[in-house]
Amino acid sequence: MVTKVQLDISQCAPAPGLEPMARTKATEIAGLLKAVADPTRLQILAMVNKGENSSICTCDLTGPLGLSQPTVSHHMKKLTEVGLLTAERKGTWVHYSINQDRWNQISELFE
Protein backbone atom coordinates (compact mmCIF):
# COMPACT_ATOMS: atom_id res chain seq x y z
CA MET A 1 0.00 0.00 0.00
CA VAL A 2 1.32 3.44 -0.99
CA THR A 3 0.88 6.26 1.48
CA LYS A 4 0.58 9.75 0.14
CA VAL A 5 2.53 12.41 1.99
CA GLN A 6 1.25 15.93 1.83
CA LEU A 7 4.01 18.51 1.58
CA ASP A 8 3.76 22.05 2.85
CA ILE A 9 5.61 24.03 0.18
CA SER A 10 5.08 27.34 1.98
CA GLN A 11 8.35 26.59 3.82
CA CYS A 12 10.17 26.63 0.46
CA ALA A 13 8.81 29.96 -0.75
CA PRO A 14 11.01 33.05 -0.40
CA ALA A 15 10.21 35.39 2.43
CA PRO A 16 7.89 38.25 1.44
CA GLY A 17 9.82 41.25 0.20
CA LEU A 18 13.04 39.27 -0.19
CA GLU A 19 14.51 39.96 -3.61
CA PRO A 20 18.00 39.57 -5.03
CA MET A 21 20.29 42.53 -5.49
CA ALA A 22 20.07 44.03 -8.98
CA ARG A 23 22.47 42.28 -11.36
CA THR A 24 24.26 45.51 -12.31
CA LYS A 25 24.88 46.34 -8.66
CA ALA A 26 26.01 42.77 -7.96
CA THR A 27 28.50 42.99 -10.83
CA GLU A 28 29.82 46.31 -9.52
CA ILE A 29 30.19 45.03 -5.95
CA ALA A 30 31.86 41.83 -7.21
CA GLY A 31 34.55 43.96 -8.86
CA LEU A 32 35.02 45.84 -5.62
CA LEU A 33 35.36 42.62 -3.63
CA LYS A 34 37.83 41.18 -6.16
CA ALA A 35 40.03 44.23 -5.63
CA VAL A 36 40.13 43.76 -1.85
CA ALA A 37 40.50 39.97 -2.05
CA ASP A 38 44.25 40.40 -2.50
CA PRO A 39 46.26 40.17 0.78
CA THR A 40 48.61 43.00 -0.22
CA ARG A 41 45.69 45.28 -1.03
CA LEU A 42 44.11 44.55 2.34
CA GLN A 43 47.40 45.46 4.00
CA ILE A 44 47.52 48.67 1.97
CA LEU A 45 43.96 49.64 2.90
CA ALA A 46 44.72 49.07 6.59
CA MET A 47 47.87 51.18 6.36
CA VAL A 48 46.14 53.99 4.46
CA ASN A 49 43.37 54.05 7.02
CA LYS A 50 45.92 54.35 9.86
CA GLY A 51 48.02 56.96 8.06
CA GLU A 52 48.25 60.54 9.23
CA ASN A 53 44.89 62.14 8.37
CA SER A 54 43.94 58.74 6.85
CA SER A 55 46.26 59.53 3.95
CA ILE A 56 49.51 57.94 2.84
CA CYS A 57 52.10 58.21 0.11
CA THR A 58 53.25 55.22 -1.95
CA CYS A 59 56.78 55.93 -0.73
CA ASP A 60 55.61 55.17 2.84
CA LEU A 61 54.35 51.71 1.86
CA THR A 62 57.30 50.14 0.02
CA GLY A 63 59.48 49.52 3.10
CA PRO A 64 56.84 48.09 5.45
CA LEU A 65 55.37 45.89 2.71
CA GLY A 66 58.77 44.81 1.39
CA LEU A 67 57.67 45.57 -2.17
CA SER A 68 59.09 47.70 -4.96
CA GLN A 69 57.56 51.06 -5.80
CA PRO A 70 56.16 49.79 -9.15
CA THR A 71 54.46 46.86 -7.40
CA VAL A 72 52.90 49.10 -4.75
CA SER A 73 51.81 51.55 -7.47
CA HIS A 74 50.15 48.68 -9.35
CA HIS A 75 48.10 47.77 -6.27
CA MET A 76 47.25 51.43 -5.62
CA LYS A 77 46.07 51.76 -9.21
CA LYS A 78 43.73 48.75 -8.81
CA LEU A 79 42.27 50.15 -5.59
CA THR A 80 41.84 53.57 -7.21
CA GLU A 81 40.18 52.10 -10.32
CA VAL A 82 37.42 50.52 -8.20
CA GLY A 83 37.04 53.76 -6.25
CA LEU A 84 38.26 52.54 -2.87
CA LEU A 85 41.10 55.05 -2.83
CA THR A 86 41.26 58.63 -3.94
CA ALA A 87 44.53 60.13 -5.13
CA GLU A 88 45.86 63.65 -4.60
CA ARG A 89 49.14 64.86 -6.07
CA LYS A 90 51.34 66.75 -3.60
CA GLY A 91 54.44 67.90 -5.45
CA THR A 92 56.11 64.87 -6.99
CA TRP A 93 54.27 62.38 -4.77
CA VAL A 94 50.73 61.07 -4.84
CA HIS A 95 48.92 60.67 -1.53
CA TYR A 96 46.04 58.23 -1.23
CA SER A 97 43.09 58.16 1.12
CA ILE A 98 40.11 55.87 1.64
CA ASN A 99 36.91 56.77 -0.20
CA GLN A 100 34.49 56.21 2.70
CA ASP A 101 31.39 56.19 0.50
CA ARG A 102 32.80 53.34 -1.57
CA TRP A 103 34.07 51.49 1.50
CA ASN A 104 30.61 51.74 3.05
CA GLN A 105 29.18 49.84 0.06
CA ILE A 106 31.06 46.77 1.31
CA SER A 107 29.79 47.14 4.88
CA GLU A 108 26.20 47.61 3.64
CA LEU A 109 26.28 44.08 2.25
CA PHE A 110 26.22 42.75 5.80
CA GLU A 111 23.37 44.87 7.14
In this predicted model, what pLDDT tens digit does every residue of 21-67 receive, in sequence order? 889 988 988 998 999 999 999 999 999 988 777 788 888 999 999 99
Residue 68 lies in a domain: yes
The per-residue pLDDT for 58 is 87
Residue 1 lies in a domain: no
Strand partners, 55: 97
Strand order in the sheet with 85-90: 55-57, 93-98, 85-90
In this predicted model, what pLDDT tens digit does every residue of 59-93 receive, in sequence order? 899 999 999 999 999 999 999 999 999 999 888 88
Phi, psi of 98 (to 5 degrees): -75, 135
Nearest alpha-carbon partner for 49 in 61, 33, 32: 61
- The CATH number given to whatever domain includes residue 40 is 1.10.10.10
Higher pLDDT, 85 or 17: 85
Contact of 85 with 79, CB cutoff 8 Å = yes
User: For the chain, what is the domain count?
Assistant: 1
Residue 8 lies in a domain: no
Residue 64 lies in a domain: yes
Residue 13 lies in a domain: no
The per-residue pLDDT for 106 is 81
The per-residue pLDDT for 76 is 94
Contact of 82 with 8, CB cutoff 8 Å = no
Quote the domain boundaries for residue 42: 23-108
Contact of 78 with 41, CB cutoff 8 Å = yes
